[in-house]
Amino acid sequence: MGLFFSGGLAAQEDGRLKVLYHLEFDEDFYFLAQSAGVQIWDAYAGPFPEREFWYYALESVLGNASRIAQVLRSADGADPVAQAVSGGIPVLVDIHITGDIDVPYTKVRYSIRELFSELHVVEHTFQENIPLEEDLLSYFWLPLSSDLDAFIETIIKPSFQIQGPAGTLVYGFTKEPLKIPDTESLFLDVPMPGTYAWEMVHKRYTRRRGVFMADKEHAVLTLPRQRFFPTSVDVGLFQSRFPELWVSRYLKSHGWFFSIGLQQQFFGILLSNSDDPLHTSFNQRPLFMPGIGAGYRFRGPEPYRPKPYIAGTLFARFNAESSGFDDFSPINALFVLGYEWETPVWLKFFVELGAAFYFLRKDYEGSRSKGTGDSGFLQLLVGDVLYVEFPALRMGIKVLLPF
């Protein structure tokens, strides 16, 4: 089973990749070579290179390969595969050095692996005279460098294409986000086969994300074009009986939104009453309540899935009979937990459940409009400053607007 990178990939826009290497010595050979030095013939003698110089020379030579963006050394004692995966590094090179100082020679055994799907593995061995420092910087690593460059060529295909609205920012394929040009088509180099978790951001379209498997040449990812509707007109019922009207403005396809509107209790539909459950009657209070609110939608841009949100609304309560602020509570607040369901047309359904908080006047006793009356099973008076009702229920339809 292939490995999946939840973070971004280490591929660069020019098709170059980061490479992690793990270099390991046969300790017996290394100890003997350090003790004896390098003596092949009289004209060719010198000290055996220190470990750090082997690392330095390897990084210098491999770093010059055309397809390599950066060469990184594995951490001491760490699992190289785990380190590559956590760092989003797609190529791992494992190198083992051994040899014989009596012959004398150095033997290099290496493997090159692509970690997206583990389908690509190259294993080679080469043998050279025990090198001096200048040899490590010149010819010694050339077989590995050549194989690695050719290996990367096999997993990078320049024919991957993304199609989408011009100006769209696409995350997940490179370290920095890609921007779709005016041609609405973008070509780039990516390792193949590979699994990519992508996300698109555009001010006029709904933010969307997905997973794409690039497993063949000329692979094409077509980004969805679901229009983002930044405004909605919300028509609903408070406590299943009082019609209300709101206008909501969304800053993004998910996240913060703000609302302004009117709730009223002057006219309401009561489907039953305690005296005659079969009789439909009307429930009225002389209250008009303009309000402002704000909320936050938690779920991302997945289409046709319920999206939870929280919202709070602050109301001013006007009493039509007294032509002024309500005697009971001139201001109240409503806090709810809501869900909304979108449809293929420009509509969403919503339902909210929460609690209403009434900030009391000192002369609230005897007021004819305490709260909403018989609305909730919990009605709590907190001192002489706050009256709480639970539950407060809202439901209705959002009509989406493209402006």
Span 340-394, pLDDT tens digits = 888 877 888 999 999 989 888 766 655 545 555 545 566 666 767 888 888 888 9
**Mean pLDDT on 60-68:** 80
pLDDT of 166 > 60? The answer is yes
Of 260 and 187, the one with more pLDDT: 260
Q: Does 178 or 16 have the greater pLDDT score?
A: 178
CA distances from 328 to 84, 379, 386, 393 (A): 66, 14, 11, 21
Q: What structural domains and CATH numbers belong to the chain? A: 17-154 (3.40.50.10070), 157-222 (2.60.40), 231-401 (2.40.160.20)
Question: Strand 156-163 relative to strand 220-222: parallel, antiparallel, unpaired?
Answer: parallel
| 2 pLDDT higher than 50 | no
- Rounded average pLDDT over 88-114: 88
Could you give the C-alpha distances from 270 to 71, 239, 240, 284, 356, in angstroms and in order?
A: 73, 10, 8, 9, 20
Q: For the full predicted model, state whether its pTM sits above 0.85.
A: no
pLDDT at residue 339, rounded to an integer: 92
Average pLDDT of 165-186? 84
Q: Which amino acid is at 303?
A: P
The predicted pLDDT at position 109 comes to 94
The span from the CA of 292 to the CA of 281, in Å, is: 30
**What per-residue confidence (pLDDT) applies to 11?**
40
**In this predicted structure, what is the pLDDT of residue 369?**
52
Return the higher-pLDDT residue of 61 and 207.
61
Q: Does pLDDT of 305 surpass 80?
A: no
Q: For the residues 81-99, what does the mean pLDDT come to?
A: 86
Crossing angle between the packed helical segments 51-62 and 142-155, to the nearest 10 degrees: 50
* Rounded mean pLDDT, 263-287: 63
Residues sharing a CB contact under 8 Å with residue 219, sequence separation 6 or more, in sequence order: 157, 159, 160, 161, 192, 212
What rounded mean pLDDT belongs to the chain?
Answer: 79
Partners of 260 in the beta sheet?
Answer: 247, 292
Mean of the pLDDT values across residues 275-294? 70
Q: What is the pLDDT of residue 3?
A: 31
In the prediction, which pLDDT does 5 show? 31
Residues forming a β-bridge with 381: 387
Mean pLDDT, range 101-128, rounded to an integer: 82
CB atoms within 10 A of CB 400: 19
More confident residue, 341 or 13: 341
Section 140-161 average pLDDT: 79
pLDDT band at 36 (very low <50, low <70, confident <90, very high): confident
